[in-house]
């Protein structure tokens, strides 16, 4: 469907095949490239549409059309119109300045057509925190802490660019589905911070309940104003009570009473931080986002990672100790929870023996070398970390990517780790030294997945540019920069995951088109397409014997498929996760499938029967990645709680 952008059109819906509206005759493509699909929002100054960019392979984007609702008449109406135009132009300017930050949508275009103003920006597929609150109820202390640790650096960035957002609410913080990253949206009322603007009375703007007194009374705004709004947002998330019911004019904030009535309690120091964020007087609040972050970092580690008892298999108690290692010029600090002394496990099964800390954001990927001595992890903090799997010691941190690291893979000889990133590059690193060997360029957008063939010759990558690319690994290592040997494209949507069959003859890819495509490496053609999932395919894996493919999906299911020619129906569907499935991996023998999910658990399944063998619990957030050692006795999991857990089998 194509939606007509003429605000006066009485029947704006049109077939995708037509170039002009069948009702009013208006051209349906903006600048001959942007096609609106459907309205997704409407505010005081315009309408927002979900759209596609036909010049970028149908990539989704957002069109904001300037259609202000102006009341009054004469000079008052003109003044209101001029103010609306100013704010709309201001949003474009702010997005242009701030779009380099990965947690702020990128401005793609800003132009006038048919005497209307349009703003085109990156589409963020996700839910806002208001929607999350409506679905899951009140946030836990840990979840609120994570909101702060993700959003405060964004405030530090925009304030460093002399911009105040002025409308931070749960509705304007969006969690991106593909990686859980929080995004700050809607800069339509943002204000440029100057000495003059700080002293002047301005437009009274913001959302009632979230905006501080200085904004609502006099239109003034400071960095501390955004801190106030973020603090109120956190109180709303923590209590699931709207701000207007959390404040008593006579006694002040009452959020603690609401928590008490709900039978909840939080760390007292954390409560004091929230109190200071929402002080009425500007001078009594934190004056910068960095101040809040510093105090958050001083809180006891136990308030971030409380000891917990996983079910059904209890985790060993852990103690935190700090270890500092030096790698090159960089000083690295990581916290490791060492294994507790155990004379004899009470029962056979999987147990969490270590929790590794060191990443400052979500852990997106983990990989184990075939020798089972080395563990590699990738994170939204833009780094790769190399760990000693036996001791949990952080060996080195690899810096070089300019954006989130989405996937890591270790070569069969254990000498090279490959990483891919939202910066559109793949990097090859020497594990023993941390030296950057090569950068592989060729993808046009974020790269979500890398895999290395069992003979170490081929590297495959999958990207949001809708292609799978193949690289000669040996050749790439010998050159500082390398280009793909083959492109596989034309049959898939944005690619989330790739896997290479053990014999090296086939590549499987899964992505946002809900399908799995199996490619024949001999000719680069699609060998088979598997369709049964009802939502995006987040992860694919091929069994050690090459006969079965497993896929994990946003639809919360895992499906097992035959790799035989002509087989298109799933062998079986595994259900049991309460959140989307983010990672799947086969055991070395191929008899067990391990899956990680946004429901914070890892599940183990019997491949032949589909029976659920067990559930490992302990993470405080979504499990983004799982891996298993070559001896089948160690499982590794990486989570959005910023930790890596090591699980071992006790016979």
What are the residue numbers of the active site?
167
Distances (CA, A) of 135 to 185, 209, 383: 21, 22, 33
Residue 156 half-sphere exposure toward CB, CA atoms < 13 A: 12
Distance CA 635, CA 349 (A): 12
Distance CA 469, CA 463 (A): 9
Distance CA 193, CA 175 (A): 27
Q: How big is the CA angle at 244 (ends 243 and 247), to the nearest 5 degrees?
A: 85
What is the helix, strand, coil percentage profile of the chain, to 5? 20, 40, 40
Order of strands across the sheet that contains 557-562 = 537-542, 548-553, 557-562, 572-575
Taking Cα atoms as reference points, which of 115, 134, 126 lies closest to residue 150?
Answer: 126
612 in Cβ contact with 597 (< 8 Å)? no
Output the six-digit token pair for 200: 């002047």
Output the six-digit token pair for 136: 């899951």
- Collapse the DSSP code of 180 into the 3-class scheme (helix H, G, I; strand E, B; otherwise coil) and give the result: coil
Pairing of strands 436-440, 481-482: parallel
Distance CA 450, CA 292 (A): 37
Distance CA 20, CA 2 (A): 10
139 in Cβ contact with 238 (< 8 Å)? yes
203 in Cβ contact with 218 (< 8 Å)? no
Distance CA 612, CA 558 (A): 12
Give the largest Cα separation in the chain, rounded.
85
305 in Cβ contact with 318 (< 8 Å)? no
DSSP notation for 500-517: E-TTSSEEEEEETTSEEE
- Collapse the DSSP code of 291 into the 3-class scheme (helix H, G, I; strand E, B; otherwise coil) and give the result: helix
Output the six-digit token pair for 157: 């960035």
593 Cβ contact list (under 8 Å, min separation 6): 541, 550, 558, 560, 574, 584, 585, 586, 587, 604, 605, 607
Output the six-digit token pair for 383: 């780094």
């Amino acid at each position: 469907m194509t939606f007509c952008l003429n605000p006066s059109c009485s029947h704006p819906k049109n077939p995708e095949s037509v170039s002009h509206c069948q009702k009013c005759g208006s051209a349906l493509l903006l600048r001959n490239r942007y096609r609106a699909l459907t309205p997704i929002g409407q505010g005081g100054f315009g309408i927002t549409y979900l759209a596609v960019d036909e010049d970028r392979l149908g990539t989704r984007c957002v069109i904001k059309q300037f259609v202000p609702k102006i009341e009054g008449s004469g000079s008052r109406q003109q003044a209101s119109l001029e103010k609306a135009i100013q704010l709309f132009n201001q949003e474009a300017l702010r997005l242009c300045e701030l779009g380099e930050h990965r947690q702020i949508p990128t401005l793609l275009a800003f132009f006038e057509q048919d005497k209307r103003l349009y703003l085109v920006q990156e589409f963020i597929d996700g839910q806002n925190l208001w929607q999350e609150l409506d679905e899951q109820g009140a946030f836990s202390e840990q979840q609120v802490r994570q909101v702060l640790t993700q959003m405060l650096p964004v405030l530090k960035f925009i304030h460093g660019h002399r911009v105040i957002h002025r409308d931070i609410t749960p509705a304007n913080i969006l969690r991106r589905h593909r990686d859980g990253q929080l995004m700050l949206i809607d800069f339509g009322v943002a204000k440029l911070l100057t000495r003059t603007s700080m002293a002047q009375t301005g437009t009274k703007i913001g959302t009632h309940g979230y905006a501080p007194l200085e904004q609502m009374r006099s239109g003034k705004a400071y960095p501390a104003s955004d801190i106030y709004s973020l603090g109120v947002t956190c109180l709303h998330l923590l209590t699931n009570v709207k701000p207007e019911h959390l404040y008593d004019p006579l006694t002040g904030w009452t959020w603690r009473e609401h928590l008490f009535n709900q039978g909840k309690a939080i760390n007292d120091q954390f409560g004091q931080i929230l109190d200071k964020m929402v002080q009425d007087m500007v001078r009594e609040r934190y004056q910068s986002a960095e101040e809040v972050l510093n105090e958050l970092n001083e809180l006891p580690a136990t308030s971030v990672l409380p000891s917990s008892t996983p079910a059904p298999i209890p985790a060993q108690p852990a103690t935190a100790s700090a270890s500092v290692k030096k790698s090159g010029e960089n000083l690295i600090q990581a916290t490791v929870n060492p294994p507790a002394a155990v004379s004899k496990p009470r029962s056979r099964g999987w147990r969490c023996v270590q929790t590794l800390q060191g990443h400052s954001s979500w852990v997106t990927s983990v990989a184990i070398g075939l020798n089972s001595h080395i563990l590699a992890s990738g994170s939204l903090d833009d780094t790769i970390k190399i760990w000693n799997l036996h001791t949990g010691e952080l060996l080195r941190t690899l810096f070089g990517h300019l954006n989130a690291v989405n996937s890591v893979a270790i070569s069969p000889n254990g000498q090279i780790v490959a990483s891919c990133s939202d910066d559109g590059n793949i990097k090859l690193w020497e594990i023993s030294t941390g030296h950057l060997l090569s950068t592989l360029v060729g993808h046009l957008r974020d790269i979500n997945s890398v895999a290395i063939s069992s003979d170490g010759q081929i590297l495959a990558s999958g990207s949001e540019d809708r292609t799978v690319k193949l690289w000669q690994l040996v050749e790439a290592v010998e050159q500082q920069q390398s280009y793909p040997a083959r492109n596989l494209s034309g049959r898939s949507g944005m690619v989330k995951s790739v896997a290479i069959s053990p014999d090296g003859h086939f590549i499987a890819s899964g992505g946002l088109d809900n399908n799995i495509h199996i490619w024949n490496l001999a000719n680069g053609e699609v060998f088979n397409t598997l369709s049964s999932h009802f939502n995006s395919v987040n992860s694919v894996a091929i069994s050690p014997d090459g006969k079965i493919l497993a896929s994990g999906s946003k639809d919360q299911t895992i499906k097992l498929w035959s790799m035989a020619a002509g087989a298109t129906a799933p062998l079986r569907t595994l259900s049991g996760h309460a959140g989307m499935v983010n990672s799947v991996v086969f055991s070395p023998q191929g008899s067990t499938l391990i899956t990680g999910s946004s429901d914070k658990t890892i599940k183990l399944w019997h491949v032949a029967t589909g029976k659920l063998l067990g559930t490992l619990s302990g993470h405080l957030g979504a499990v983004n990645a799982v891996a298993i050692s070559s001896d089948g006795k160690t499982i590794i999991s990486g989570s959005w709680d910023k930790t890596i857990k090591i699980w071992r089998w006790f016979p």
